[in-house]
Amino acid sequence: MRKGIPRQASDPAESPRRRTWIVWIFVLLLMASGGFFALVILARPSISSITPSLAEPGAVVSIVGANFGTQRGDSRIEVDGVSPTAASYLSWSPTLISIRFPGTVDSGLVYVYTAKGRSNPKLFMNKARLPVAATSVASGGSGPWLSSLSSERGQIGTLLTLTGTGFGIPGADRSVRFPWSPEDPPVSRGERPAGRTISGTDLSLSTEFWSDREIRVRVPDGAVSGAVFVQSPQGDSNSLFFGVSEMPGSKRVFDRRSYSVTYSVELSRIEASGSNELFLRVPIPVESPNQTVVRSLAMEPAPFSLEFSGLALYRFRDLGSGQNQEVNLTWLVQCYSVETRVDPDRIRMPETPGALETAWTGADSLVPATEPAVVAVALQVIGGERNPLRAARLINDWLVRKLAWHEEHDRRSPVEALAAGSADSWNYGLIATALLRAAGIPAIPVAGLLVDSSRKTVHHSWVEFRIPGFGWVPMDPILASGARPGGFEPAFEESARYFGNLDNRHLAFSRGVGELKPLAANGRRAMASHPIAYQDCYEESAGAIEAYSSFWGEVEVTGMY
């Protein structure tokens, strides 16, 4: 079954050796002909390690790598977008740079720049500039205090135990923050980009336990080595260093695009004869390794609460007949392109399935992963393939060939759409997720919008599947098939690139399925007419409210830069 399946990491390993032999053959031919030549190999610099990667101000740091050049000349390094002064450099050779980092250098990515280009990045942490608790129990305050981590190093997905005091109760305003280093646009010389962190509590199963003195959280996808701390309304805790172990590939997060998005929900034609309640669960843009919610610009009225699952919960009580109610929200969101490269031969499967594999390979209220028809198709497509990357590619390619996308809203179930061989965006994401899960690959559906260059939006869905020790890999089989929802022009010229990669024109409002518990006794639950997020309830009414109308407006992109 492996014949003909592209292997993402084999070509880069073989092609350099092939090019080397070609170069030497060319050189020998020129020497045999007595010709005079100059051979120039344009080799970009590369960094293999930084020692130490966590240091006090004024420490001497060694940058080890290749192709730095015999002399510094006009070459330089940059840390967090800033170049140290010439006096900071102690030595410079083709494979080693020794430099004394000044105290003004922040934590951030280190690059080596030469006339031949920019190196790959490595992370340096300035110990003196790690986050410090605003208040803490240890100092007599009321904020969180982090005393220890269960491990100093681990892979993506490792369950990490944090112990301390003052963590509080779990909620949307509390999280464990890990360092995160996207490739942001260049900054002006002397300008410092803001510190970057990612939440370890972005998905429901990421946090296994939370109490005032102990948190058990999984190292999130996109995390890099550096400072881990607890964020709370009472302030940030002190931080402790955690190192992310080597992965079976690389993930690049780059090419940021910012959006301001506005949308609304209107309630009207209310008929009520007594005491009542009406709940709205309004999706908001989600946090992910390639999407950051910078801030809320407007939430009118203020929600009853922000739920852990990434929703704004509104509660209206004792609505009167003829009364109208409106909710307006505006958010500033940053989306990044994602590029992954994974070597399938370096993937190591866990000996026994963990909580993540059990939860994200089973069925839920929207994903029919255990339906016999779905299981039969999945097993037929992957055959005996057990490598998750190769199996996921087989499923992606089958969807591209066999499941047509159509724009009309589908009234069928995902199983019925699969049998018919065509699906709308909502069902397409659920079918793709179901097939991956039926093949034993942890997967979640993602729903939201595609945004084109004119700020036009169209509802869309895609998928993420999980590779042990690496994290989530994006997959958009709709765009990979060549379909163009709403006339959307994709960023990638080659449709096949939408397996393993994603552009910054995808704006997500849900990752995974929101299985929402009823909020009222004998509540009546309803979906939105054109849902933008994968959740099994949008509205719930209870009590003496006989009728009402709801209008969920389309999301409008009011700014893009």
**Mean pLDDT in order along the chain per 10 residues (561 residues):** 37 47 49 40 80 80 92 87 82 92 72 89 71 45 86 89 90 83 58 61 75 91 88 90 88 92 94 94 90 86 79 93 94 94 92 77 94 97 96 98 92 95 96 97 96 93 95 96 92 94 96 88 87 93 94 92 87
- Alpha-helical regions (H) of 44-157: none
- Cβ atoms of 110 and 183 within 8 Å: the answer is no
Give the list of residues 6+ apart from residue 281 with CB closer than 8 angstroms, or none: 307, 311, 312, 313, 314, 514, 516, 535, 537, 538, 539, 540
Residues in Cβ contact with 16 at an 8 Å cutoff, skipping those fewer than 6 apart = none
Alpha-carbon distances, residue 156 vs 119, 206, 220, 248 (angstroms): 24, 11, 6, 11
Q: What secondary structure letter does DSSP report for 193?
A: P
User: Which pLDDT belongs to residue 4?
Assistant: 36
Catalogue all structural domains in the chain, each as residue range(s) with its CATH number.
46-128 (2.60.40.10), 131-246 (2.60.40.10), 255-335+514-560 (2.60.40.2250), 362-503 (3.10.620.30)
Give the separation between CA 129 and CA 283, rounded to whole angstroms.
36
Pick from 390, 372, 383: which is nearest to 467 by CA? Answer: 390
Q: What is the pLDDT of residue 190?
A: 40
d(CA 33, CA 142): 80
| Cα–Cα dist 375/369, whole Å | 7
pLDDT for residue 128: 60
- Distance, CA of 465 to CA of 442 (rounded, Å): 6
Q: What are the angstrom distances between the C-alpha of 76 and each of 68, 109, 459, 473?
A: 9, 14, 45, 34
**Cα gap 305→311, rounded to integer Å:** 8
Q: How far is CA 253 from CA 6, 188, 334, in A?
A: 23, 20, 12
CB atoms within 10 A of CB 385: 18
Quick one: pLDDT at residue 342?
A: 95
**What's the CA gap between 445 and 531, in Å, rounded?**
14
For the chain, the distance separating the N- and C-terminal CA atoms, rounded to the nearest angstrom, is 45
pLDDT of residue 104: 62
Neighbour-count burial for 425-437, b at 16+ CB within 10 Å, e otherwise:
bbbbbbbbbbbbb
Q: What gap in Å lies between CA 375 and CA 443, rounded to an integer?
A: 15
* Residue 127 φ/ψ region, left for φ over 0, alpha for ψ in the -120 to 50 degree band, beta for the rest: alpha
